[in-house]
A and B are shown apart, each in its own frame.
Chain A
Amino acid sequence: MAIPLSYNLRNLMARRTTTLMTALGIGLSVAMLLSILAMVEGLRSAFAATGHPLNVMVMRKGSTAELNSTLAQETFRIIKTKPGVARDARGEPKASLELVTVILLENPEIPSGININVRGLTADGFAMRDSDIRIVQGRMFQSGRREVVVGQGIADRYPMARLGKPLQFGKGEWQVVGVMDAGRSAANSEVFCDLFQLASDQNRETTLSSALLRATDEVSMRVLMNTLADDKQLSVDALPEAKYYADQTASGQPIQAVGILVAIIMAIGSGFAAMNTMYAAAARRSAEIGTLRVLGFSKLAILTSFVLESLLLSLLGAIFGCLLALPLNNLETGIGNSVTFSETTFSLRITPAIMATGFAFALVIGGLGGLIPAASAARKEILTALRQN
Chain B
Amino acid sequence: MSEVVIETRNLTKEFARDEFRIAALKHASIQINKGDFVALMGPSGSGKSTLLHLIAAMDRPSNGDIRVLGEDLRSLSDGAIARWRNAHVGFIFQSFNLLPVLTALENVELPLKLTRMAKSERTAHATKALQLVGLGERLTHTPRQLSGGQEQRVAIARAIVTDPDLILADEPTGNLDAASARDVLEMLVTLNKEFGKTIVMVTHDPHSAKSASSVRYLEKGELLPPGAKPVDWDA
Contact = CB atoms under 8 A, between A and B. Distances in A.
Nearest to A290: B97
B86 interface: yes
A324 interface: no
A291 B99 contact: yes
Contacts of B83: 296
Contacts of B114: 1, 295-297
A217 B8 CA distance: 90
A295 B102 contact: no
B174 interface: no
A168 B171 CA distance: 94
Given A1-B113, A14-B101, A296 B59 contact: no
A316 to B, nearest CB: 17
A157 interface: no
Interface residues of A, number: 25
B101 A287 contact: no
A382 interface: yes
Given A381-B59, A383-B58, A294 B85 contact: yes
A295 B101 contact: no
Contacts of A2: 113
B53 interface: yes
A382 B110 CA distance: 17
A203 interface: no
A382 B114 CA distance: 18
Contacts of B110: 3-4, 292, 295
Task: Point out which of A2, A4, A292, A382 has the most chain B C-beta atoms below 10 A from its C-beta.
Answer: A382
B64 interface: no
Nearest to B159: A295
Given A288-B99, A294-B85, A383 B53 contact: yes
A291 B170 CA distance: 13
Interface string B89-119: 0010101010111100010001101100000
B91 A7 contact: no
B124 interface: no
A292 B75 CA distance: 22
Contacts of B22: none
Interface string A1-43: 1111011001100100000000000000000000000000000
B101 A7 contact: yes
Given A7-B101, A291-B99, A296-B85, A383 B93 contact: no
Contact of B106 (A6, A11, A288, A291): A6
Contacts of B86: 295-296
Interface string B59-79: 100000000000000000011
B178 interface: no
A258 B86 CA distance: 53
Given A287-B95, A291-B97, A295-B86, 9 more contacts: A2-B113, A7-B102, A288-B97, A293-B58, A295-B158, A297-B82, A297-B114, A299-B78, A383-B58
Interface of A: 1-4, 6-7, 10-11, 14, 287-288, 290-299, 381-383, 386
